[in-house]
Structure 1
Amino acid sequence: MIKVLIVEDDPMVAQINKKYSESIENFTVIKICKDGKEAFSYIKENNVDLVILDIYMPKLNGVDLLKKMRKNQILTDVIAVTAAQNVEKVDQVFKYGVVDYLIKPFEYKRFKEALDKFMLKYKLLHEKTIVEQKDLDKITNIKNKNSKTQLKKGLNIRTLNRIRSCIECYKQTSFTNDDIAEKLKLSRITIRRYMEYMVSIQELKSEIEYGPIGRPKNIYVKGE
């Protein structure tokens, strides 16, 4: 379970961010802090995987909190969530190593994309002992998954990304067409079309499993 700390001085926004975070599988909010000073005290004493951080706050603002974290070798990943659109401020925040930067007001879809991006990085860097170039390309989005030119006729990018997100968060390394169809409440025929496409672009691998009775079935494995 990914432990999330929300740092936000607006109670309503903090609760929205909490609701959004916990609606995504494998994320749990362990604490909400109203300013950077409170957040720094908490981070020093507790294990936190991800900080969702507002920039403009009393006592210790988001940028100063980031500086203090890095100065004290606290390398926890951070997603900045703020109304700040100043180019200099955005550049400064990225230089302190934030995973993503969301400008208020934002939609749930964009928030989920930020957490999905973090989860991809987290899994790649925590589940492997050796990282290959193709792994780093996934983290840095070198390969643009949203490119419509990659899609076969009749496939929809939103459906494809829903399936990708489901697979990325799926606990087992192998799964069937039926497993994903049940999770997403979509037809098996629809899921099969998309998963065969993902096999064709090497995002998944497909193996055939022969049971003692009945027809053989395809088992899908996450691409390396």
Structure 2
Amino acid sequence: MPDSRIRTLIVEADPVTADAYSIYVEKLAGFTVSGVAYSGAQCLRQVAHDGHDLVVLDLYLPDMTGFDVCRRLRSRGARPDIIAVTAARDLATVRAAVAYGAVQYLVKPFDFAAFRSRLESYASYRNHLALEHTGLIGQREVDAALAALRPGTAPSPGRPRGRSVSTLDVVVTYLRAAPVPMSADEVAGAVGLSRVTARRYLERLADQRLVGRTQRYGRPGRPEHLYRWLVQVGIGTN
């Protein structure tokens, strides 16, 4: 029986962040990670040789912009849908992303409730445009599909509405993979959270003795807390 899950290609320059996105996508019903690329060139090669329905695309990559990636994909006849991810907040960037075919746009920093909302809205959009209408749809179906892309309109059956568990998982995944102790600012920037939110989760892990907490001196102002995963303790240990 063919896999009906939405094949999702993650395109993100930072490997740890890409891993965190991948783990989160795999937790969403109806989605699967079909590949990971760390540059525009890798993305283009993967789309050319492998089947992908959706590309979660950072617009700033080490070798080219996400807009370059979109332009080359379209010129080659490739038609995966795009969810653009960027820290840019200017209107020109938003307009360019839409012009290049992005169906969703995520502004960093974002929490993973927003990430989940975009993917679930996209899944609802695809369902509305499924070819169950013998390939012909009317205005009502078009309106319903476009409305589904608006965050907050897509249902999420069977999924808890709270975000704490999923966000905590992403923070843990990042910290476990980090080669050195990380500050709340560094964790926040890597996984797309505010500094306050990241520190709240890190302090919670420290209180549970899953994370070690030290201080870094030598900078102006107050000393900075650093957090490292205690490798001898695993999630679920009593």
TM-score, length basis structure 2: 0.59
Q: Distance between the aligned counterparts of 1:21 and 1:39, measured in 2? A: 18
Query: What's the counterpart of residue 40 of structure 1?
Result: 44
- SS of 1:56 mapped into structure 2: coil
CA contact (8 A) 2:125 2:149 kept: no
The match for 1:132 is 138
Task: Give the deviation of 1:144 after TM superposition.
Answer: 8.1
Does residue 92 (structure 1) correspond to residue 96 (structure 2)? The answer is yes
Q: Which runs of 5+ in 1 are unaligned?
A: 147-160, 167-182, 186-224
Kindly indicate whether the alpha-carbon contact (under 8 Å) linking 2:125 and 2:148 is maintained by their aligned counterparts in 1.
no
Change (3 A) 1:144 1:48: closer
Matched residue type, 1:94: V
Unpaired runs of at least 5, structure 2? 161-238
Alignment correspondent of 2:106: 102
* Distance apart, 1:105 and its partner CA: 1.2
Which residue of 75, 82, 85 maps to 1:78? 82
Task: Trace 1:181-200 onto structure 2 (pairs within 5 A).
Answer: 183=158
Residue in 1 that maps onto 2:19: 15
1:1-224 matches, within 5 Å, as 1-128=5-132, 129=134, 130-141=136-147, 164-166=155-157, 183=158
For residue 141 of structure 1, give the secondary structure of its aligned residue in structure 2. helix
Quickly say closer, same or farther: Cα 1:52–1:145, change in 2 above 3 A: closer
Paired with 1:83 and 1:58, the residues of 2 have a C-alpha distance of 15
8 Å Cα contact 1:124/1:135 also seen in 2? yes
State the alpha-carbon separation in 1 of the partners of residues 30 and 12 from structure 2: 22
**Structure 1 residues 64 and 17: CA distance shift in structure 2, 3 A:** same
State the Cα RMSD in Å: 2.3
Partner secondary structure for residue 33 of structure 2: strand
Deviation, 1:184, is 5.9
State the Cα distance separating 1:83 from its structure 2 match. Answer: 0.9
Compared CA separation, residues 131 and 39, structure 1 to 2 (3 A): same
Change (3 A) 1:24 1:71: same
Identity percentage over the alignment? 31
Q: Bigger relative contact order, structure 1 or 2, given CA contacts below 8 A and separation 6+?
A: 2
CA shift in 2, pair 1:143/1:51, >3 Å: closer
Aligned length: 154
**C-alpha separation in 2, matches of 1:93 and 1:184:** 30
